[in-house]
Amino acid sequence: MKSPEAKPVDPLKRRIHTIIFEADTAAGKAFDVGLLILIILSIVVVMLESVVPIDQKYGHIFDVLEWVITALFTLEYILRIYSVGNPWKYIFSFYGIIDLLAVLPSYLSLFVQGSQYLMTIRAIRLLRVFRIFKLGNYLMESHILIQALRASRTKIIVFLGAVMTVVVVVGTTMYLVEGNAGSGFDSIPRSIYWAIVTVTTVGYGDIAPVTPLGQFLSATLMVMGYGVLAVPTGIVSVELAHADRQAKLNTISCPHCSREGHDEDADFCKFCGYKL
Amino acid sequence: MKSPEAKPVDPLKRRIHTIIFEADTAAGKAFDVGLLILIILSIVVVMLESVVPIDQKYGHIFDVLEWVITALFTLEYILRIYSVGNPWKYIFSFYGIIDLLAVLPSYLSLFVQGSQYLMTIRAIRLLRVFRIFKLGNYLMESHILIQALRASRTKIIVFLGAVMTVVVVVGTTMYLVEGNAGSGFDSIPRSIYWAIVTVTTVGYGDIAPVTPLGQFLSATLMVMGYGVLAVPTGIVSVELAHADRQAKLNTISCPHCSREGHDEDADFCKFCGYKL
Amino acid sequence: MKSPEAKPVDPLKRRIHTIIFEADTAAGKAFDVGLLILIILSIVVVMLESVVPIDQKYGHIFDVLEWVITALFTLEYILRIYSVGNPWKYIFSFYGIIDLLAVLPSYLSLFVQGSQYLMTIRAIRLLRVFRIFKLGNYLMESHILIQALRASRTKIIVFLGAVMTVVVVVGTTMYLVEGNAGSGFDSIPRSIYWAIVTVTTVGYGDIAPVTPLGQFLSATLMVMGYGVLAVPTGIVSVELAHADRQAKLNTISCPHCSREGHDEDADFCKFCGYKL
Amino acid sequence: MKSPEAKPVDPLKRRIHTIIFEADTAAGKAFDVGLLILIILSIVVVMLESVVPIDQKYGHIFDVLEWVITALFTLEYILRIYSVGNPWKYIFSFYGIIDLLAVLPSYLSLFVQGSQYLMTIRAIRLLRVFRIFKLGNYLMESHILIQALRASRTKIIVFLGAVMTVVVVVGTTMYLVEGNAGSGFDSIPRSIYWAIVTVTTVGYGDIAPVTPLGQFLSATLMVMGYGVLAVPTGIVSVELAHADRQAKLNTISCPHCSREGHDEDADFCKFCGYKL
């Protein structure tokens, strides 16, 4: 999350840069809070527009609000490009693309109908919220979470691969068993959809087995899924405990070789044997 | 949970205070048990009143019971104010407000219809149950639970923020995909409600996708939610293990070798054999 | 699970006792396996009798089988009383009562209709299965499980108490919000039933909110339940890890004071300071 | 997963063997990737054939594709038998049987209708995917997962046994309570199916209690299942943490103080500073 921009030299540019890109000054913080409120307001407007009775009553207010917010976001985007040291680097950075995608749908909606719903992509802009709390320990915590998820990546992929194979085999079997029972198992893809709904314990009930054999098979799948549900939890728990310990413990550095990462009960550096 | 009141000097006041506010004497314990039974009875009455056939048959008995209980609660509230050293401190304490809210709805129901249902706020008074078991280890255990939840607060907030962003984006996408399929995705807020129902694996089935693309997207959401369900569990497990260890290990460090981490029942240092 | 009977002296009694109560000899093991098959057969018969088309076709076979099994169980029960050293102790022990309850329903069904379904109580007799594997490590494992559950008892009670309070308050609120919407929230007890179905993520969908406010409240309950689901898992994980470690580690006993339960990294006895 | 074949001496055989059975050379890797694509294509074809409107439109293309793929798989199977050192060992190995089962259904479908659905057994062939990543750490991770699941086997069996007993008893009770309420509890097996759907928190809602007593009983079952859901998670977490630690710690004990438990990257003993 290192800021991808170099600081500009021009005083006006620098001032705008401090306000827009940083959250350490009072003005910068106020700007960020205002931006967050605008983003949330914009998402609420898109949501309410989709509710037919509300839209019929307040539709014109929503239209005005929508264009005011889009204008402000466009201004912000232009100012960002203007004030940043290396504009192209910003434009193609993660946040740069998201900022552009936040204003594009409004302009597109003039030509293409329905594209205004793409505006919910603005929800991703809410990630900026973490910048305000930068001084707090939220960043560290989210860093631990991401590290734990990254460390469990290979295990989760292996696990999901195994689950997917089971889901395909069970889905096909259920199609053969329940296909003619009129219970919704109309095709193999739909049966696989049912198997996923079941194994994740969501269980809508829009498709449910009615034959005794189908019910027996799905009960077996559930009990299996029940035991198996434990596996990703176990994986993440273990990695989280590990990441947490890492974050908490790497404080002592060896006075001889300056290396870190020693265990809590270590008396001697594990790399050079020097007494800690 | 420290008692917010100073002890009164007047012997009658002190006696009432001992009975009502403490649970160390036999009379105090009997009072607390009686109070608990009254609270549960009162909640049961409110519940049964809402079942139409039962209310038609026993409605008048419920009315009498309700007013008897309210009278007793009012008396208790007055006695608490009378016997406590610093009445205002009690009135504005957490339990003081709950005690007032426990009797207010009954009186309000004389003027405003429907307000008697607010009485279920009495359920919160059940928290007093912990006072009876004060001598047991329930308090310590709930302390560990609260400490673990507090320690995982920032991680859980970061996690819920990420989940909410996904839910908003997926909900909007599903509105676009399923909006015209007559399957209940009538508006974006309703689609987001569906996404929450799905990602938490509740899965009512009142709204369920019917188009192949919608079913594919929701299957993806489920599998994601499946892996992600593990994260809060992992967080709480790790913090709980930590809080538990903290509570169990004593904080004595060996006077000879200064090492820590001894068990609670240890008499001698496990590293050098020196007497603790 | 210590056997509640003293060994008889009479050789015939002792022989029967060895076969029926123990599983160390070939005859005893064969007896136990036969018993298990009989129990499962008996449960399958009761199940199939409840399926109308199957019962109409094979009802008479089931009746015969049922009485044969009951006769065998009765014989077994009498032999147990005969061969055991202290009959009354056996009769009032856990297994003694279960063994009696396994035959009573059949005789009762001669007089009271419907009581034959009580026979599924025989399922509990399946617990005897553990005796066969007594030599294996199943007993140790189930001991660890029980110990972990017992250790987490107080925490789980505190947790369930908190969840119940939330469920009562939310259930009542939903009754007030959805009561007149015709969506199944007919009474407070039924709304509490809905709240339990939701918070445990079962989600039948037989009762589901239809008003926007009701859907918003239930979405909040789900997200809360989602975070909270983690708590019992965390509790049990921690206790299980603890019980597991205990079971694995208490092998070294102090050569001086013979006490056990030292940590893996202990060099000196924590009770008497003697070098391990 | 050791390759069950001896290497052949004949240069052509050896060349084919290297390509087909190994993934270390560029040709071998290309072959494996091509094979995976063919397998996935073949599964997709079987899936799409089951969707009636798609099959009506593209049915003949699917037929051609199906036979081309079957021909290629047959050729591959023959080449495997030809190039392997010990053909019988391969034919009766796990992968040998799967490879045969992958082509049999197509030929069978000439005689027996419906047997083409058995082709989804090809999904199991996807397990070969792990061979491509052989050089990565996927194998190690899946090894850890399998080891953790194997270590928790006895505990999971004990646990599932207990859950099954509860499910049978509760299912029968619900049949007695709800049997005549027209809510789907038609027979004991179906009630047990409902109990499994409930205790695993899947909750389709195709069968749901309607009587107050039935709803009370099922709410109790849910709360129990809620607490109990934690147990397998706890078991797997503990074993996974154990397997993970085992895999990460090296087994070197210090030559000076004989202590173990050093990290994998440790060069010096962390307890006495001696070079490992």
Per residue in A67-90, pLDDT tens? 888 889 889 889 888 888 788 888
Asked if residue C187 and residue C132 are part of one domain, the reply reads: no
Q: Which residues of C touch B205 (CB under 8 A)?
A: 203, 205
Average pLDDT, chain A: 77
A 122-151 → B contacts, CB under 8 A: 123-124, 126-127, 129, 136-138, 141-142, 144-145, 148-149
Query: CA torsion angle for C110, C63, C119, C72 (degrees, to 10)?
Result: 100
Task: Name the pLDDT band for B5 (thresholds 50, 70, 90).
Answer: very low
Question: Does the beta carbon of A200 lie under 8 angstroms from any beta carbon of chain C?
Answer: no
**Chain A: residue whose CA lies nearest to C198:** A202
pLDDT digit string (tens) for A32-56? Answer: 888 888 888 888 888 888 888 888 8
Confidence (pLDDT) at D194:
92
Out of C87, C117, C139, a domain closes at C139
Judgement on whether residues A128 and A165 belong to the same structural domain of the protein: no
Region A96-102: mean pLDDT is: 81
Domain annotation covers residue C66:
yes
Residue C228 touches partner D, C-beta closer than 8 Å = no
The reply to whether B54 and B83 lie within a common domain is yes
Any CB–CB contact under 8 A between D187 and chain A? no
> Quick check: A1 pLDDT over 50?
no
Q: Which amino acid is located at D141 in the chain? A: E
Question: Are A201 and C201 an interchain contact pair (Cβ–Cβ within 8 Å)?
Answer: yes
Could you tell me if C227 and C152 lie in one domain? yes
Residue B194: CB partners within 8 Å, gap ≥ 6? B171, B174, B184, B185, B207
B64-103 residues touching C, CB cutoff 8 A: none
Whether residue B47 lies within 8 A of chain C, CB to CB, comes out as yes
pLDDT value at A62 more than 70:
yes
ipTM exceeding cut-off 0.85 for this assembly: no
Query: How close does chain D come to A249, measured CA to CA in Å?
Result: 14
Give the model's pLDDT for residue C132: 52
Question: Quick one: D82 and D193 in the same domain?
Answer: no
Residue B223 has its nearest CB partner, among A144, A196, A240, at A196
- The lowest-confidence range among C65-69, C250-254, D165-169, D221-225 is C250-254
The pair phi, psi for residue C268, each rounded to 5°, is -125, 150
Same domain as D99, residue D34: yes
Put simply, the answer to whether C200 touches D186 (Cβ < 8 Å) is no
How close C121 comes to chain D (CA, Å)?
Answer: 7
Residue C30: the pLDDT is: 84
Q: Could you tell me the residue range of the domain that residue D52 belongs to?
A: 11-139
**Residue percentage of chain C with pLDDT more than 90:** 4
- D119 shares a domain with D62: yes
Mean pLDDT score across all residues of chain B: 77
Confidence at residue B138, expressed as pLDDT on a 0 to 100 scale: 58
| B197: amino acid identity, one letter | V
Domain assignment present for residue A273? The answer is no
B114 C-beta neighbours (distance < 10 Å), count: 11
Domain CATH number, residue B57: 1.20.120.350
- When computed from its CA atoms, the radius of gyration of chain B, rounded to whole angstroms, is 27
Task: Name residue C27's amino acid.
Answer: A
Closest CA of chain B from D125, distance in Å: 22
Please list every residue in chain B whose beta carbon sits closer than 8 Å to the beta carbon of residue C155: 141, 144-145
pLDDT tens for C154-177 read 777 778 877 888 888 888 888 888
One domain, residues A16 and A106: yes
Q: What pLDDT score was predicted for residue A136?
A: 46
pTM of the shown model: 0.79
Provide Rg for chain A, Cα atoms.
27
pLDDT at position C246: 67
Chain B: residue nearest C240 by CA? B241
Residue with tokens 């009954």: B106
**Is residue B209 within 8 Å of B183, Cβ to Cβ?**
yes
Cβ count near C240 (within 10 Å): 27
Mean pLDDT of C210-231: 83
What is the structure's pLDDT at D126? 63
Cross-chain CB nearest to C272 (options B148, B202, B268): B268
- Regarding whether D133 and D52 lie in a shared domain, the answer is yes
CB of B223 within 8 A of CB of A200? yes
**Number of domains chain D is built from:** 2
Q: Are B161 and A129 in contact (CB under 8 A)?
A: yes
Amino acid at A58: Y
B186 by DSSP, 3-state: which? coil
- Mark whether C174 and C97 lie in a shared domain: no
- Parts of chain D with a pLDDT under 70: 1-9, 23, 113-142, 227, 229, 245-276
pLDDT (tens digit per residue) in B17-49: 888 877 678 888 888 888 888 888 888 888 888
Q: Is residue D1 assigned to a domain?
A: no
Residue D85: which of D30, D128, D21 has the closest Cα? Answer: D21
Residue C33 contacts by C-beta under 8 Å, 6 or more apart in sequence?
A: C132
Asked if residue C220 belongs to a domain, the reply is yes
Domain shared by B25 and B120, yes or no = yes
Residue A259 lies in a domain: no
Assess whether pLDDT exceeds 50 at residue B3: no
CA–CA distance, D130 with D149 (Å, rounded to integer): 19
Shared domain check, A201 and A117: no
What single letter denotes the amino acid at residue A37? Answer: I
The pLDDT mean for chain C works out to 77
pLDDT higher than 70, residue C234: yes
Which of the listed residues A123, A139, A155 is the one where a domain comes to its end?
A139
Cβ-in-10-Å burial (0-12, 13-18, 19+) of A253 comes to middle
Q: How confident is the model at residue C135 (pLDDT cuts 50, 70, 90)?
A: very low
Instruction: Give phi and psi for C275, each to the nearest 5.
Output: -65, 130
Please list the alpha-helical segments (H only) found in chain B: 11-21, 26-49, 52-83, 87-91, 94-108, 129-132, 138-151, 153-178, 188-199, 212-228, 230-248
As given in the structure block, the two tokens for residue A151 are 């460390």
Q: Please report how the helices C138-151 and C230-249 are oriented relative to each other, as an axis angle in degrees rounded to 10.
A: 130
Domain boundary, last residue among B139, B161, B196:
B139
Q: Does B225 touch chain A (CB under 8 A)?
A: yes
Q: Is D252 domain-assigned?
A: no
Three-state secondary structure readout of chain A: CCCCCCCCCCHHHHHHHHHHHCCCCHHHHHHHHHHHHHHHHHHHHHHHHCCHHHHHHHHHHHHHHHHHHHHHHHHHHHHHHHHCCCHHHHHCCHHHHHHHHHHHHHHHCCCCCCHHHHHHHHHHHHHHHHHHHHHCCHHHHHHHHHHHHHHCHHHHHHHHHHHHHHHHHHHHHHHHHHCCCCCCCCCHHHHHHHHHHHHCCCCCCCCCCCCHHHHHHHHHHHHHHHHHCHHHHHHHHHHHHHHHHHHHHCCCCCCCCCCCCCCCCCCECCCCCCEC
CA–CA separation, A9 vs B259, rounded Å?
Answer: 55
* Averaged pLDDT, A249-263: 59
Report yes or no on B251 lying in a domain. no
Backbone φ and ψ for A181, nearest 5 degrees, come out as: -90, 0
